[in-house]
Every structure is written in C-alpha cells, then in structure tokens.
Amino acid sequence: PISGMDLILTEVKGQVALMTLNRPKELNALNRQLLEDLSETLSRLKEDSKLRVLIITGAGDRAFVAGADIGEMADMDRNQAEMFARFGNRVMNQIHYFPLPVIAAVNGFALGGGFELALACDLRLASDKASFAFPETGLGITPGFGGTQRLARQTGPMTAFDLIMTGRRIKAQEAKDLGLVLDVIPADLLLDRAWDLASSIAQKAPVAIREAKRAIRDGLDLTLTEGLTLEEVAFGCCFETQDQKK
C-alpha cells in the first residue's frame, strides 16, 4: 500500500517502510514544505512498532535530492538562514536518531542538502547513475544541514576539505572508494537491493539492532572508555529480551 502526503510517499511491505521524496520535477529539492512533511512522516513511522527498517529514496530516475531549494534560500538574511539551517538539522537529526536502521537508496543526484540527507542515514546504497557533490561554496554558502560534521566523521577531515572546498562532483564508484556508500548497484536493481538489505536486517533481533545502532552512533561522540560503557549497557539490555532467551 502506498500512502502519504504528496511530497512524501510511504510504502510499507512487511516490516520495512520505503519513504520516497516526491518532487521529481524539481529533482526532489528540499523546500520547507517537503522538510515539514518529512519530519511529520518520520515522527509517525517512529511510533509504528511493527517496523524494523526504513529506506529513503527519491522519486524519478534522475535525482535522490538535488539540494535545498535554491529559490527559497535566495532572499534569506543571516538570521533566517541560521534558523533554516537549524530547522534542517533538526529534520536530519530525526533520521540520525531514528530508532531503526535507515538506508538511503541514492538513485541519482545527491547534492548539497541531498548529500547531507544521505549522510544522516546509517547505510547508503548508490545506483550506478548516482552522483554526489557539495556545490555550496560555489553558491557562496557552506553546507548547512550537517555536511561539514557528518562528512568529516564518515571519511576523515581531508576528504571533507576536498569535497566541500572544491565542490567537485563524484560518481557512485568514487563515493564507494571513499567509504561513502556501501555498494554501487545497477539503477534498475537499486530498490530491490535496498529491500533485500532491509529484510536481512529485519530478520535480526530488534532490540539488538536498536541498541547496536545507538551504541555505534553515540559512541562516535564519546571517548573509547565512555563508548565501552555504552556498549555494556546495550549488551545488558538484550538480556531482558525473548530473542536472547530462546
């Protein structure tokens, strides 16, 4: 069944939800309305106790997301821009802190805010037609939806300096070589592969998956000693579940 608001389509199959960002004529650029609908959809899916994995993709065959909506940003003053970045970061954090694994199926352009959205996901699969770039510095701005932070954490600082300072566009294979995507898939097989990956995760113990995501994600912000404490708590937590007892 496909449901949802016009700008976000949601399809649930078994324990996996697929969310499609749906502004194909504008290459799924993130305007405020789309971000608000995305936020609302994430809040709703978070409450669905049947779900185990979320997949995010873009509508059409050209773009995952071609960035924040350039037209909407054009006339912002300093304060409005900062507020917009804060709003965008809040939505990206809803993905980052989503209690289930989130897979980005990057089906085309992932530019600026679109690259940042993909980076907020836990796992990224790219079609062989996908490309990635941070065009912001060419537009007189910095990334504003988490790119400076998440790219550097994912690849180390030098790649982040390179991609953000040059704005160069990379193809899926280079993104894979840089550790930015898990795999490159022929375009017509991308979603099948994303469903397969999601299903393989959905078969594992849900509390173990949730706690593993939390420990990996939150551990990155901590010292090793603090992170290991987090892991001990996560490990203990699993011993109250049927999946561990069976």
**Looking at the annotation, which residues are catalytic?**
116, 136
CA dist 95 and 227 (Å) reads: 21
Nearer to ligand CO8, 81 or 222 (CB): 81
Could you tell me where the beta strands, DSSP code E, fall in the chain?
Answer: 2-3, 8-13, 16-21, 53-58, 63-65, 102-106, 109-111, 123-127, 131-133, 170-171, 183-185
Residue 154, number of CB atoms within 10 A of its CB: 15
Tokens of 134: 């941070």
Query: How far apart are CB 229 and ligand CO8 at their closest, in Å?
Result: 35
**Residue with token string 């017509």:** 188
Nearer to ligand CO8, 34 or 51 (CB): 34
Tokens of 208: 């173990």
CA dist 223 and 7 (Å) reads: 40
Find residue 167's DSSP bridge partners. none
Closest CA to 46 of 71, 5, 10, 75: 10
Residue type, 50: K
Binding site for ligand CO8 (CB under 6 A): 26-27, 29, 66-71, 73, 81, 84-85, 88, 109, 111-113, 135-136, 139, 143-145
Query: How far apart are CB 14 and ligand CO8 at their closest, in Å?
Result: 34
- How many whole angstroms from its chain centre is CA 103? 7
Nearer to ligand CO8, 42 or 119 (CB): 119
Query: How far apart are CB 51 and ligand CO8 at their closest, in Å?
Result: 28
Query: How far apart are CB 103 and ligand CO8 at their closest, in Å?
Result: 21
Nearer to ligand CO8, 53 or 65 (CB): 65
